[in-house]
Structure 1
């Protein structure tokens, strides 16, 4: 037993060093991306809440959808690279085809999210909201698809485990692009409705051209039926997060800082969950996990847990600075409650991610296709509940 304990200790030490050397930089980069998007959300939160409230309902779903679709693509590429099924080059034809498939998978859930928002009574400027989310989905999906491919393939070529860096960067780039693109389209519609419509038509034409160029077949789209059903169901489930965000938008805005760090909180929880799910999936496929209680898997979680106080502190410090720079306002002194609770919420999500990935694999369901989208979505729900609770504690509501 002492020998086993020493081996586990050495393994944990090695993974802690890897977590700080490889994963933490990608998590901190992801924080910068998420806080960039959060700056737009925080600054225009009141305008969105009053003029285009439907965007608040669909926002978590759109953010989660992009993380789900392209996070699972990164995990799939990682597994394919290790198995030799994908050449380590962004020029591989499978890359373009996979990107187009993921773009197609994204459009129907986005429309359904909009429809749910309308059916739940948020009809103000509904058509404008639809145009914004469709155009944003096409453009962001195209950019994010190539970003995902580049991060996964380049990290693999440099001897870095893609599972350790791809998921955080992909999810964060989605956040980095999502909120600013929505805000920019809002400003474009306000200033030039004709210009926005022309831009919308050009974007659709680009989408049709790329689809034809990739030569995607219906059979190939059908092969992703499981992913499509999963992301669509999860997108609809994300309306829980959207409804919470819309319902408690006043309290969140009153807390000041939570409007700014909301995207970063959701993305970081999703990042931790996705990293654990991706690592667990790869180990399961390679036969390295034989039972639920696996020291190798739990040392991954413990190593990542040691980074959570750093990520939480950076998030708060940058968030406080952004609030001051963009609004000139201060934040409530009770903001410290976020620093205390954030690491344990992240730990809960990581343990949940490992358990879900393991159970799905044992039931012959590929975690790459299901676990990461499900975890990302659930992390958004848990994260939104966490933000609402923190807002209530901070403003005393």
Structure 2
């Protein structure tokens, strides 16, 4: 029995390095690209547009959840023959418009919460930034999601196995740079920014009319809307923490660069464990909470965490040095030492949540993954604040 478990664990470790690690590393590169924009302009955002810090974690998670569910829906429609494997199918534009609207409402609520909690500086400009960014990024991400799903299906690959992580990574890749670019546009030409907003809103109305979306089609997505809105509102916890401790995070420098990548990787590790646990539970392979077989995936993925943590500091630090001229501080290696154990905590939390949801007849596939992604943002933001305090001696 022991030899069998060790053999299975060796196989899982091999799979983790062969299959999972490359996807985690790719996601990390996307996150670090967005983090470069955040790190370079962190002070500008913190001092002039603090409301963006409140909505940032929510927007990042929102886009992954909204378009991840769209990828899953398209995959099902393709297998059922309800969707042509072509970007020209009218249902694609219709679904993208639906997701754009679904994204705009939670974004507005996030902004309103920020204002109600006292973050009113340049509040109207922040609202225009998040609305315009949501429309444009949603349109780009919608067609990217459609392309990835259809391309995988036409190649004979299961879209469910590749679309969700790629969509989440692209969401991270687009979110922060788009917000920063609009900030720069405001500073250089406020009139050009307002004109661009008017054009973007007109574009949104045009594609909405072109898609011929009907009111009853919105009601079909009511459950998705309720879920993503609730999670977006919950993300104000991490957004409020980020805004409150933004000064100390900026003082650490490197953490402002790797913040998006840290949150993304915690969510990825948690989601992978939730998905694997859900599959094992449905197949009856987990007989009890402390079933040894259930933890082989956790142990296998834990072995990849030091690699991700070290490369996160090395690559993020190199980008920071290139942008700011500051060398990687020695204290940054606190992240290298503690990151694997934070990943372990997230994975054990994900396993526990998935297990007990299943015991209560709630399918983890529908609830656990988006909830874990959201909770990982909260845990990750708290982790970043703690690391910042240790690094700057506050």
Q: Same fold (TM over 0.5)?
A: yes
Matched, 1:185 2:182: yes
Q: Distance in 2 between matches of 1:288 and 1:76?
A: 26
Question: Counterpart of 2:369?
Answer: 372
Is the aligned partner of 1:29 residue 2:26? yes
Where does 1:78-227 land on structure 2 (aligned, <5 Å)? 80=76, 84=80, 89-91=85-87, 94-155=91-152, 157-158=154-155, 162=159, 164-227=161-224
Q: State the Cα deviation string for residues 230-278 of structure 1 (Å, max 9, x = none).
A: 2112211111111111111111111110000001001111111222333
Do the aligned partners of residues 16 and 243 (structure 1) sit closer, same or farther apart at CA in structure 2, a change above 3 Å counting?
A: same
CA contact (8 A) 1:75 1:368 kept: no
Residues 183, 28 of structure 1: CA spacing in aligned structure 2 closer, same or farther, 3 A cutoff? same
Unaligned 5+ residue runs, structure 2? none
- TM-aligned CA deviation for residue 301 of structure 1: 2.9
Q: Check conservation: 1:23, 1:165, Cα contact below 8 A.
A: no
The aligned counterpart of 2:237 is: 240
State the secondary structure of the residue aligned to 2:119: coil
Deviations 1:52-88 (A, max 9, x none): 111111111111211222233345555x279647668
Decide whether aligned partners of structure 1 residues 222 and 278 sit closer, same or farther in structure 2, where only a CA change above 3 A counts: farther
CA drift of 1:208 comes to: 2.6
Pair 141,197 (structure 1): closer, same or farther in 2 beyond 3 Å = same
Q: Give, in whole Å, the separation in 2 of the partners of 1:247 and 1:73.
A: 34
CA–CA distance in structure 1, aligned partners of residues 95 and 101 of structure 2: 10
8 Å Cα contact 1:23-1:164 kept in structure 2: no
Q: Where do 5+ consecutive residues of structure 1 fail to align?
A: none
Q: Which moved more, 1:325-334 or 1:177-186?
A: 325-334
Whole-angstrom distance in 2 between the partners of 1:156 and 1:361:
30
Distance in 2 between the 1:310 and 1:151 partners? Answer: 28
Deviation at 1:198, TM superposition (A): 2.3
Q: What is the aligned partner in structure 2 of residue 14 from structure 1?
A: 11
Cα distance in 1 for partners of 2:279, 2:267 equals 18
The alpha-carbon distance between structure 1 residues 296 and 226, as it changes in their structure 2 partners (threshold 3 A), is farther
Deviations 1:10-39 (A, max 9, x none): 443333333222222221111111111111
Q: Which moved more, 1:252-261 or 1:150-159?
A: 150-159
TM-score by length of structure 2 reads: 0.90
The answer as to whether partners of 1:26 and 1:165 remain within 8 angstroms in 2 is: no
Asked whether the equivalents of residues 76 and 368 of structure 1 are also in contact (C-alpha less than 8 Å), the reply is: no
Determine helix, strand or coil for the equivalent of 1:331: coil
Against the structure 1 CA distance between its residues 188 and 85, is the aligned structure 2 distance closer, same or farther, given a 3 Å change threshold? same
Equivalent of residue 276 in structure 1, options 273, 278, 301: 273
1:324 lines up with 2:321 in the alignment: yes
Task: Give the CA deviation at 1:185.
Answer: 0.6
Could you tell me how far 1:98 is from its partner in structure 2?
3.2
State the superposition RMSD in angstroms: 2.6
